[in-house]
Structure formats: C-alpha cells, structure tokens
A and B are shown apart, each in its own frame.
Chain A
C-alpha cells in the first residue's frame, strides 16, 4: 500500500469515510513523517500525542458527516489555537497560550479535523522566504539550501514534504501564493471578507486573508468550503453564501474569457517565466477559453503602495505587543523603558523595519504624502481590475518573478526581497481572490506557479480554471526525500 501521507486530502477524507483506513493510521503516517523531517524546521509546536489521541477517539465514535472527518491537519502559527502555544514566529509571543480558538481553525475542527501542530512562518507574517522567524528558517523540500517562500513557508514546506495532508496559511501580499509557487503546491487567497479574521494574529487588517494550501485543486476547493463563512465577530467579514466549491468544481471552462495583462510582463523577466505563462495560455485555449489582452495600467505602483499601507497598518496592529498582557516582557526602570526594551528584544529586524517605516508614513506631516497617496493609488489599482472584469472572467499571470532562491541570498537587501511579491500584491490591494497552481519547472527543476486573479467572490471560476491547467500541466513532484 502506498504511504498514506502521499495521498491527497480528498483521498484521505474519502478513505476514512469508506473505512478503507482509520484516522489513527492516517495520523500515525503524518506524525512519523513529521518526526523524521526536523531538518526542514517546519514545526514550531508539535501536537503529535494529542493528534493521535484525537484520532483514536474519532475511530471509536467519531461522526463521519464533516467535510474533513478524521483528518489531522497542521496550521500556520498565526492562527490562535486554544490551549496550544501560538507564536506568530516571534520571540515576543514565544510563550503565548491563547484561551480562545480562531474562527477559521474552529471551522476546521467543526468539520471533523483535528490539530497536528503549528507551522513555522515569517515573523508576524512579514517576509517572503521564512527567514525572519525567531524559530529559524524553513527549508524547501526541493533543496537543502532553498527557501520555501513566505510568509507561510512552514506550511508550504510541510505540505510539499507530506508532513500534513493539507494546511491553511494567511496571505497579505502573497504569503500563500508565493510559497505555493516555490514548493509546487496549490495556494488560494480568497476574496477579502470571505473568511473570518477573528483570532488570526493581525498583520495588515485591510489585506490579511486566511486561505487553503493543498496538494491539488480538488483539495483546495474542499478546504476553502470548510473554512469560509460570515463571522459576526469580524466587522470586515462578508455575509455571502458559501458555495459548494467542491461539488461545483469542473474543468469545463469553455467560453470563459481570460485576460492577459501586459503590465505583468516586467523588465528582465526570466524567459522561463514568460514561457510558462505562454504555456498556460495554450492550455487554456486548448480547454476552450478565450484569451484577451488587457491592460492594468497602474500595476507598477502596486508594490510601493503595498509597502506603505501594510507597514502602516502593521505598526498600529503590533502596538499591543508591549509586555503588559501577554508575551515577552523585558526589564525596565519605568513603563517607557519596559516598553522600549520589550519591543526591542521581542521583535526581529524585518518587523522593526516595517513598524518604523509604518510609523513614519503615518506621522505628522507625512500622512498625506504617503498613506493617503497610497490609498488613492489603491483605488486606481482596484478600478483597473473593475474595468478589466467588465470584459473578462479571470486574469492569468505568473505567480512569482523567479523560482525558489537560496537561503541568505536576499537577506541584506529588503527591496530585493519585496520584489518577490510583485505579481501577488495587486490582488490583496484590490481584495480579489487569487490562486497559484503549479504549472512547470525552471531549468534547475524548481517549481513555478501560474496565478489566476478572479472577480470578487469568483473563487469557483479560478478553481475551475486552475483545474484545467492542472490536468494539462501534469506537474510532477520530482524531488527525492533528502532530509531524513
């Protein structure tokens, strides 16, 4: 029998339902893999014993009616999990044990899944390589010296290495889609407001969204269905019906109009990326889609606008980390000293950079020139999409401007690191759903992804399109296990 850990989520759910295997077997399989894979450094907190115990309980008298009945799942350490340490990849929360459960993870457990562990990530979700975590860098299963992408690097790496059947991450500027692209997995950022943000450690409130990270598109649809939904505890959550993404999943995309935005063809774009994009276009034509050239004129301003808005919101969201109520507290002779030392000791360099630039762009005299300006640019970017979507149903672009790079390559150059997000950021600024689906390899055999951006609440469309690509791309995970 094949190793259960190599099965897809859907296969596991079905197998458990059909009693082909037990939840305990499934869980043991992932626990064994995880224990052997410490080199990848994907876990911050392991919940293996509890998971096995939950699996046993499920096998005894679990209810098989959930979407994820009996399935163990590890999640990004940005989701507050009740009584399980939640660190956000930071020293400042390295001993924080929430007394509450995030809505999204609660949705998972309501559907029959249970916690396998908390996965490593860039500190406070700030990063594109999972090198900023207090708990050490994560390694890409594709190569010992490679980054898995970020900030959901631990999630992507664990997924690709079969340490968890599926997982959820968060995406603020590309933190689900970019690591998905780097690890040959599927990652989807839903429409802003589709999933609740309650109980997720906040980075940039108007950009953050939780989303599924899975081995294939079918799994992605299933997991999206499980986590989506209106939450009255989140004022930015939308009261819209959750569609049956899995049962409506189809590769029949004939007649759908796909926009190819010329502005995404950036200077110095590697030819492999361009070729992959062209291949994607061919696949879609083959499936009966209609290709249209479109223009999103303000694309080039998206990344600078993002690096004003996101740090600004983060500088305010991270003000609560002051050592008073929870987390790390440093010594200080008075309150101000205590604050300054706590935050100096507790935050890493990238977080400090972003808090400071965020503080600067909001500060007296600069608000209009930076923050207000960025919000205006954001409006322009959104309008670009609104206009385009009058004529097309979805937009196809590459996910990333390059494949996984070496650990340490971009550490000293923040801007070079930020450029990783060039294709992903516009969807966050506009609140639109976007997905990365693995579509090919570069000359070093490293995975590359293609991205679909959809209309608001157009998740079904982009899932279907991704399925069409998936069936034609025949992407194969072509690496060998080297880490255990």
Chain B
C-alpha cells in the first residue's frame, strides 16, 4: 500500500495553516476503592451511596492512599515507556465548586509520579510518535446535576475521590484523525494493562483539548485555547475542527486569540468561552500537609515491569513475525485486548490465517450487524476454533462452514454437534466422488462435448451439479481434481 502524505491543513483566505493539538486525558483508575478513601468506585450506584466522611469533606477527615492505585499508575507509566519517579508529592489544588467538598482537589503539581514517555500511532502516512509530558494521580470530583430543578443544582458525590490518572501529551498532534488514533491507542494500552476500562460513555475517559494554529512553516506556537471535559472522540474532533477554524478566522482578520478556557457545546457543535472563569483560576498549589511525600522502591517498579502483560505494539510485532500476519491484519487483531485475547484463544488449536479471516471478516460482520462487542460474541473462541479445525481437516467445506457458523450463533452451539446432527460432513471419499461425478457427466453428455470443444466455462456447471447431487457436501477440492481428470 502506497504511503499517503499528511494533509490536514486549513486553507485560510490568506495562508495555509496547521493545527497544533495537545491533550490532557483524564483516565479513571480501575480499582475497587477510591484513591484516598475506601468507598466503592462502581459506576451507576444510587446518588451519594458511595460516599464516606472523607469523600464529603467533613471536619477532621484525613486522606489515606490506596496502594493499588499507585501501582496502577506506575503500570500505565511503564506501558507508556515513561520514566517512573521514585519520589513524588501530592499537592492541593484549591478552588471552590459544589462538587468539590473539601474546596481543594488532591493532585500532583511539580513532582508527578510519572515523567516523560511516548505513544506510537500507526497513521496511513507512517508511524508517528506522540510524546507524553507526564502522568499524575489526582482525585476526581463529584457531579452536579443542573437540570432536575429550575432554581437549584443537585450534588452527587459518588464520583468524588475516585482515582484519576491525568496523562498530558506534548503538543505533537496535528489533526482530528491523529487525535482519534491517539485516544484509541492510549485506551487500548490501558485496557491491556487493566489500569483503566476506557469507557467513555461512563466517563472513565475524558479529555481537555488544547488547540492552537500557526501558518505552515512558522516555528513558534500560537496562543492556545483549552476546551474542557470532552467525553467522546467524535466531540473532540468536532471541537478541534470548529475551534481551529475560529482561530484562523480571527487571526486572518487581524485579531488576537485570547488564551482562555472553552466548552464544547454539544447541541450547537461550537466551542464557547466559559463565563464562570472570569478570574483565571489561581489554584494556589502547595504540598498537602495531610500526606507525606510518596516514595517508591525500585524493587516495586521492577516487579510491576516483570508482570506487565504483552502490550499492543509488542503483540503486533509478534503476530507479524511469528504468525505471518500482515501489518494490516495484526493491527486489527491488537486494536482491542478482547480481540487479541479472542484470536489467541482461537489459534491455540487451529490455522492462524484462517482464524484471522474468520474473525476479521465473518465474525466482525455479525458483531457489527448486532452491535455487539467481541466480549459479547454469540460464538465463543473455543467453538470458532473447532469450526476452523474442521475446515482444515477437510471435514467440511468452507461454504458449509458458513452455514454452520450461522447456526452456531444461536446459543453458541458446538459446531461438531451441528455437523454430526445434520450430517454435514464433507464427502471426501474419492471413490464415492468419482461415482457422483461419473453420474453427472453421464447425464450431461451434450455439455461434456461442448466443454471438450472449448466451452471451458461449463466446468463450473459440472461442479455445481456435483454439489447439488451431494447436497453441498462434496469436497470441492477433490471434485475439482477428479473432474479435471475425467474431462481430459
């Protein structure tokens, strides 16, 4: 496949512009309990039922850190090939909001737990490395609900205190498509690691998007605006498209960009300035005196590194080298941990090429039609493996296999049982096939003559007839071989 060239530019009235994007991704840590309190993190609970005295900021309450959350962020850092800081500090970020009961958020400012790392994107124009600036741990806030009462807002603190990893990229992204691939890759890495479920609908992954523009060739960055709390890739892309055009228009008309925080209005599909931020937040960061500095032992880092599961990039390389898959196929299979898990289960006992095909074509078609994820696949990996094995052993033809596959989808039936029950075993006995073929040829003498005098297309007709006679069970390969011999 010929490599395409990068081509996301904005053609303004006066110049050609490029878009500079940096993302601050907030990923909820997969853990049973919260970062500094032991209430549950489970999504969807009744309001304020997963809230402790610490979470709601009662007088005299104090934070105690969850060791597992620390390990989850180290694992994520390792997955990003990043530097793990053995010493880090928790700071208070002070501001007032109804969903922030203490009036401050415990976060990390100057000394985060993870330093610089990278994420590699597979773009049509080649591999692109997006540099990670840092990853730090912080508390999530609660939720304010504004539309249940005309005069009041309701506050639910269930989410208050859940552990978040904030992953900050350097401004290396250049298009909405790169943002799409970046988020997907980041999400995939964390799902492989089991450190975040990346479920954007449930809010476990959100991002603040920083956008600026500059004319192509310009080395300096332009003034950027931050679009806060975007919770789907589609919205991120729409926000970037709108915002970059807005900035280009402003700049080309001689105006300046105000560095400000904006919201993406999902109803009007525009970005707009956040009114409540009139005095730019002065967060007055200082080290949280209720906590001590976090000190990690190198032995912990080494242990976590050793126990890391194989990550998508490594897996992809292995599939290409050892399974002989193409880069394209490997990419699809590793794009989600559930898909690669499924594939690896299938190929434990059957042919890899066939498996790849059946998964990425047949199975995906079914999943797409029924809007299911592979984890909810109507056909289990084990059973698909059995089906493919039967094809390889010649027990059934590819065509029959497709029918069996359809039947398997109802209740995840065992293909061997279906084939047995319905007598679908392929007919591969050469003697029996010869007999069938002879019969067909005998019945269609005229066509044999026509074939022999040049109408080679009739070969398909004979095959078709043999299939009919055999109720589709004749082994197509053998039929072909024997038919060829007989028609010589």
Are A and B subunits of one complex?
A: yes
A363 touching B282, Cβ below 8 Å: yes
Please give me the residue from chain A that is nearest to B288 by CB atom.
Answer: A205
A335 touching B153, Cβ below 8 Å: yes
How far is B96's CA from A88's CA once the two chains are assembled, in angstroms?
Answer: 22
A319 with B104, Cβ < 8 A, contacts A235-B62, A235-B63 known: yes
A322 touching B292, Cβ below 8 Å: no
Please give me the residue from chain A that is nearest to B144 by CB atom.
Answer: A335
Interface of A is mostly: loop
Q: What 0/1 readout, one digit per residue, does chain A (84-114) give for beta carbons within 8 Å of chain B? A: 0010100001001011101000000000000
B289 in the interface (beta carbon within 8 A): yes
Question: Which of B92, B96, B101, B292 is A325 in contact with, Cβ under 8 Å?
Answer: B101
Contact partners of A316 in chain B: CB under 8 A: 92, 94, 103-104, 284, 286
Please give me the residue from chain B that is nearest to A86 by CB atom.
Answer: B59
Please give me the residue from chain A that is nearest to B284 by CB atom.
Answer: A362
A235 with B291, Cβ < 8 A, contacts A316-B286, A363-B282, A364-B282 known: yes
Question: Which of B61, B102, B286 is A362 in contact with, Cβ under 8 Å?
Answer: B286
Contact partners of B285 in chain A: CB under 8 A: 362, 367
B60 in the interface (beta carbon within 8 A): yes
B56 touching A325, Cβ below 8 Å: yes
Q: What 0/1 readout, one digit per residue, does chain B (268-294) give for beta carbons within 8 Å of chain A? A: 000000000000001011100111100
Contact partners of B289 in chain A: CB under 8 A: 204-206, 236, 313
B398 in the interface (beta carbon within 8 A): no
How far is B480's CA from A406's CA once the two chains are assembled, in angstroms?
Answer: 115
Contact partners of B56 in chain A: CB under 8 A: 325
A319 touching B96, Cβ below 8 Å: yes
Please give me the residue from chain B that is nearest to A124 by CB atom.
Answer: B59
Contact partners of B487 in chain A: CB under 8 A: none
Please give me the residue from chain B that is nearest to A319 by CB atom.
Answer: B103
B53 in the interface (beta carbon within 8 A): yes
A319 with B284, Cβ < 8 A, contacts A100-B53, A236-B292 known: no
Interface residues of A in 293-326 (CB under 8 A from B): 312-313, 315-316, 318-320, 322, 324-326
How far is B57's CA from A201's CA once the two chains are assembled, in angstroms?
Answer: 11
How far is B420's CA from A313's CA once the two chains are assembled, in angstroms?
Answer: 76
Contact partners of A80 in chain B: CB under 8 A: 58-60
How far is B59's CA from A206's CA once the two chains are assembled, in angstroms?
Answer: 16
Q: How far is the CB of B355 from chain A (nearest CB, A)?
A: 51
Contact partners of B62 in chain A: CB under 8 A: 197-198, 233-236
A324 touching B284, Cβ below 8 Å: no
Question: Which of B60, B101, B284, B290 is A199 in contact with, Cβ under 8 Å?
Answer: B60
B65 in the interface (beta carbon within 8 A): yes
B60 touching A202, Cβ below 8 Å: yes
How far is B285's CA from A204's CA once the two chains are assembled, in angstroms?
Answer: 16
Which 3 pairs of residues, A with B, have the shortest CB-CB distance?
A: A319-B103, A205-B289, A362-B284
Interface residues of B in 284-317 (CB under 8 A from A): 284-286, 289-292
A457 in the interface (beta carbon within 8 A): no
Interface residues of B in 243-257 (CB under 8 A from A): none
Question: Which of A88, A235, A312, A324 is B292 in contact with, Cβ under 8 Å?
Answer: A235
Q: Which size class do B's interface residues fall under?
A: 20 to 34
A326 touching B58, Cβ below 8 Å: yes
Please give me the residue from chain A that is nearest to B287 by CB atom.
Answer: A375
A371 in the interface (beta carbon within 8 A): yes
Contact partners of B233 in chain A: CB under 8 A: none
A201 touching B290, Cβ below 8 Å: no
A359 in the interface (beta carbon within 8 A): yes
Question: Which of B63, B64, B98, B290 is A324 in contact with, Cβ under 8 Å?
Answer: B98
B155 in the interface (beta carbon within 8 A): yes
A232 in the interface (beta carbon within 8 A): yes
A320 touching B57, Cβ below 8 Å: yes
B59 touching A202, Cβ below 8 Å: yes
A200 in the interface (beta carbon within 8 A): yes
B59 touching A232, Cβ below 8 Å: no
Please give me the residue from chain A that is nearest to B95 by CB atom.
Answer: A319
Q: What 0/1 readout, one digit per residue, does chain A (362-375) give for beta carbons within 8 Å of chain B? A: 11100100010000
A347 in the interface (beta carbon within 8 A): no
Contact partners of A88 in chain B: CB under 8 A: 59
Most buried by A among B94, B103, B284, B285: B284
Please give me the residue from chain B that is nearest to A237 by CB atom.
Answer: B62
A197 with B59, Cβ < 8 A, contacts A320-B101, A322-B103, A362-B94 known: no
How far is B61's CA from A336's CA once the two chains are assembled, in angstroms?
Answer: 25
- 29 pairs of residues in contact across A and B, judged by CB atoms under 8 Å: A80-B59, A80-B60, A86-B59, A93-B59, A98-B60, A200-B60, A205-B289, A206-B289, A233-B64, A235-B62, A235-B65, A235-B290, A235-B292, A236-B62, A236-B290, A315-B284, A316-B94, A316-B103, A319-B96, A320-B101, A320-B102, A322-B103, A325-B57, A325-B58, A335-B98, A359-B284, A362-B284, A362-B285, A364-B282
B286 touching A232, Cβ below 8 Å: no
Contact partners of B153 in chain A: CB under 8 A: 335
Q: What 0/1 readout, one digit per residue, does chain A (319-343) give for beta carbons within 8 Å of chain B? A: 1101011100000000110010000
Q: How far is the CB of B66 from chain A (nearest CB, A)?
A: 12
How far is B91's CA from A367's CA once the two chains are assembled, in angstroms?
Answer: 13
Given A235-B63, A319-B104, A336-B96, output 8 extra A-B contacts at Cβ < 8 Å.
A198-B61, A235-B64, A235-B290, A235-B292, A316-B284, A316-B286, A359-B284, A364-B282
Interface residues of A in 214-244 (CB under 8 A from B): 232-236
Contact partners of B104 in chain A: CB under 8 A: 316, 319
Contact partners of B98 in chain A: CB under 8 A: 324, 335
Please give me the residue from chain B that is nearest to A96 by CB atom.
Answer: B59
Contact partners of A371 in chain B: CB under 8 A: 286
How far is B58's CA from A80's CA once the two chains are assembled, in angstroms?
Answer: 10
Question: Which of A201, A234, A312 is B286 in contact with, Cβ under 8 Å?
Answer: A312
Please give me the residue from chain A that is nearest to B54 by CB atom.
Answer: A233
Q: How far is the CB of A312 from chain B (nearest CB, A)?
A: 7
Q: What 0/1 readout, one digit per residue, does chain B (153-182) give for beta carbons within 8 Å of chain A? A: 101000000000000000000000000000
How far is B92's CA from A98's CA once the two chains are assembled, in angstroms?
Answer: 25
Please give me the residue from chain B that is nearest to A80 by CB atom.
Answer: B60
A205 touching B103, Cβ below 8 Å: no
How far is B60's CA from A202's CA once the two chains are assembled, in angstroms?
Answer: 6
Interface residues of B in 302-361 (CB under 8 A from A): none
How far is B98's CA from A322's CA once the two chains are assembled, in angstroms?
Answer: 9
Please give me the residue from chain A that is nearest to B155 by CB atom.
Answer: A324
Q: How far is the CB of A196 from chain B (nearest CB, A)?
A: 9
Contact partners of B292 in chain A: CB under 8 A: 235-236
A201 with B59, Cβ < 8 A, contacts A316-B103, A320-B102 known: yes
How far is B96's CA from A23's CA once the two chains are assembled, in angstroms?
Answer: 49
Please give me the residue from chain B that is nearest to A232 by CB atom.
Answer: B64
Please give me the residue from chain B that is nearest to A88 by CB atom.
Answer: B59
Most buried by A among B59, B282, B285: B59
B59 touching A320, Cβ below 8 Å: yes
Interface residues of B in 57-82 (CB under 8 A from A): 57-65
A319 with B60, Cβ < 8 A, contacts A313-B289, A363-B282, A364-B282 known: no
Please give me the residue from chain A that is nearest to B36 by CB atom.
Answer: A235
A98 touching B58, Cβ below 8 Å: yes
B286 touching A367, Cβ below 8 Å: yes
A367 with B284, Cβ < 8 A, contacts A316-B104, A324-B155 known: yes
A205 with B290, Cβ < 8 A, contacts A100-B53, A364-B282 known: yes
Contact partners of A324 in chain B: CB under 8 A: 98, 101, 155
Contact partners of A202 in chain B: CB under 8 A: 59-60, 290
Interface residues of A in 457-483 (CB under 8 A from B): none
How far is B60's CA from A93's CA once the two chains are assembled, in angstroms?
Answer: 13
Contact partners of B53 in chain A: CB under 8 A: 99-100
Please give me the residue from chain B that is nearest to A318 by CB atom.
Answer: B103
